[in-house]
A and B are shown apart, each in its own frame.
Chain A
């Protein structure tokens, strides 16, 4: 067990180093990175001054080590458009992104289990057909287009849901202001519905198919037949015997799922004017604010890697077949 944890930890550290290396290389790919940090009207002297200030005149390996050292201290330099440390801006936007990601993950997983199970139990019938058709569409619709369509229909036409903005829940919670946090909760969830469905629909579809096929497989296993022959009710067979094993593939996916959802969140936040990292990245892209883009990408990657690590460790606990 401990050797597994240590090995996985080491692996994560290597991957994080890989991420920083890739982001460093991406900076260098366009030639002298100084030009990414100066305005188009800067004079040759100014450019030289900034080059020296940012250390781009030093040898590459020194530059990388300095870069790594600064990142380790959370220093990505100042945002070019806000003139504040990029890291602070990114951390300020993080809670909104986490709220959206978690809520869409809840949708993608909790709904996928009943969908997949019922599709498997009613295999070949109308219910199965409609769930699988929905899943097929769900895997073919760009999340941001789904978002736009939901804004048009549920937001503008029916007027059921707010179409933009966010009511913070995690932010006051982190700051210890529980009264505000829980006072905000209903309105916060109400604002989350449309963007979270838009982000989670693709994953919901994929997971439904996954649960269905693994459920079908499990239902054909000997131990399910044994359980049935013992005269246990069908409900108990499904819930206690089949489901417990059928949802394992979904658990394996949770870590990767999170990364996938993050990708969707980046785009969806722009559609719904959600004040998270995604919209921040979108604006930073348009203003070519490199420090903010880099800080966002690395913060999200580190979260993703850490989560995958945690999921792997949890997996060992819930699946008794995994022996270390």
Chain B
């Protein structure tokens, strides 16, 4: 995925064409169909993440020992219904799922912001200045890629202790290398372009050249990476939560709901595992489809290669 996006070469952005570009994007989406569905699913997930607490029929942490492990559609307290059943502590699975969207999405996006900021700055510095800056950052990236990310995450989270902030930090740091490599490659080629030279000739400061002239031209390939990246961060969050290294147990996330479902597996309480899992799959799948579509849309030459 990442190696193909390296080759995205784009003309300098022109703001005036924005509406025309959006129209082109919309038509391309209509033609491809799947991305449209993916966009729709993502909008639902985002809506739920924002308004989940208002929609949720019950308090996600309200335990009800009398109504443990109720099957989906079973009657709940005061005439309510457990749409997706209740878990081992009698909490409403549907409400936890709605609250979980918030945490999963927050972790995904925040980790990308952390990793993206680190990686993009490092990539701009590497590509623009070269020399020892590039050497040091490059070797750091090599070392990090040389051992499996999940092991790194486990090592840090065991010592730092689980928690939302630590989780975001570790997931973010895990992502910077990808951004560094891509932004570096893009910056290297952009640095030699005429419009950058023109900015230099007009006496723009280095800061202005990097952030006003080069950065806007890297945004397009970055959005492709980010789309795939949110998907993989959500998967990683689910894995870490599953290992007990995610957020504290009372905070509902899709990963931790799956972790808790494991105890009930042999008792065949399928609804505990199926619903949060489907939520993860639908969200991640949508991000992946969007990523694929964005890549093809921004560089039609790549379409041939699937």
Q: Does B258 contact A (CB under 8 A)?
A: yes
Q: When the two chains form the complex, which single residue of B159, B238, B265 contacts A26, counting CB atoms closer than 8 Å? A: B159
Chain A positions within 8 Å of B161 at CB level: 30
Residues 104 to 150 of chain A near chain B (Cβ within 8 Å):
132, 136-137, 139-145, 148-149
B262–A136 contact, CB under 8 A? Answer: no
Shortest Cβ distance from A21 into chain B, in angstroms?
9
Q: How many residues of A contact B (CB 8 A)?
A: 56
Chain A's interface: helix, strand, loop or mixed, by majority?
Answer: helix
Chain A's closest residue to B152 (CB) is: A22
Q: When the two chains form the complex, which single residue of B146, B148, B266, B304 contacts A263, counting CB atoms closer than 8 Å? A: B148
Q: Does B277 contact A (CB under 8 A)?
A: yes
B152–A145 contact, CB under 8 A? Answer: no
Chain A's closest residue to B34 (CB) is: A136
Q: Does B210 contact A (CB under 8 A)?
A: no
Q: Does A98 contact B (CB under 8 A)?
A: no
Residues 7 to 30 of chain B near chain A (Cβ within 8 Å):
none
Chain B's interface: helix, strand, loop or mixed, by majority?
Answer: helix
A149–B235 contact, CB under 8 A? Answer: no
A305–B265 contact, CB under 8 A? Answer: no
Q: When the two chains form the complex, which single residue of B146, B148, B288 contacts A139, counting CB atoms closer than 8 Å? A: B288
Q: Does B155 contact A (CB under 8 A)?
A: yes
Chain A positions within 8 Å of B285 at CB level: 136-137, 140
B148–A145 contact, CB under 8 A? Answer: no
Q: When the two chains form the complex, which single residue of A11, A136, A267 contacts B288, counting CB atoms closer than 8 Å? A: A136
Q: Does A50 contact B (CB under 8 A)?
A: no
B273–A266 contact, CB under 8 A? Answer: no
- Bound together, the chains give a CA A30 to CA B262 distance in angstroms of 30
B147–A36 contact, CB under 8 A? Answer: no
Chain A positions within 8 Å of B270 at CB level: 152
B280–A19 contact, CB under 8 A? Answer: no
Given that A144-B258, A152-B268, A152-B273 are contacting pairs, would A15 and B147 also be in contact in the complex, using a CB cutoff of 8 Å? yes
Would you give the 0/1 interface string for B151-193, flagging 1 where the beta carbon is closer than 8 Å to chain A? Answer: 1101110111100000000000000000000000000000000
Chain A positions within 8 Å of B156 at CB level: 26, 29
Q: Does B244 contact A (CB under 8 A)?
A: yes
Chain A positions within 8 Å of B93 at CB level: none
Chain B positions within 8 Å of A270 at CB level: 242-243, 262
Shortest Cβ distance from B135 into chain A, in angstroms?
13
Residues 141 to 170 of chain A near chain B (Cβ within 8 Å):
141-145, 148-149, 151-152, 156
Shortest Cβ distance from A16 into chain B, in angstroms?
9
- Bound together, the chains give a CA A267 to CA B16 distance in angstroms of 49
B235–A142 contact, CB under 8 A? Answer: yes
A288–B158 contact, CB under 8 A? Answer: yes
Given that A15-B143, A216-B305, A301-B148 are contacting pairs, would A149 and B277 also be in contact in the complex, using a CB cutoff of 8 Å? yes
Chain A interface (Cβ < 8 Å from any Cβ of B): 11, 14-15, 18-19, 22-23, 26-27, 29-30, 33, 36, 132, 136-137, 139-145, 148-149, 151-152, 156, 209, 212-213, 216-217, 256, 259-260, 262-263, 266-267, 270-271, 281-282, 285-286, 288, 290, 293-294, 297, 300-301, 304-305, 308
- Smallest CB-CB A-B distances: 8 pairs: A263-B150, A140-B285, A18-B143, A145-B277, A259-B148, A140-B284, A301-B147, A15-B146
| A-B residue pairs in contact (CB < 8 Å), sample of 23 | A136-B289, A139-B288, A140-B288, A141-B284, A142-B242, A142-B284, A143-B239, A144-B242, A148-B277, A149-B277, A152-B273, A212-B306, A213-B305, A256-B145, A262-B150, A263-B151, A266-B243, A270-B262, A290-B158, A290-B159, A293-B154, A297-B154, A301-B148
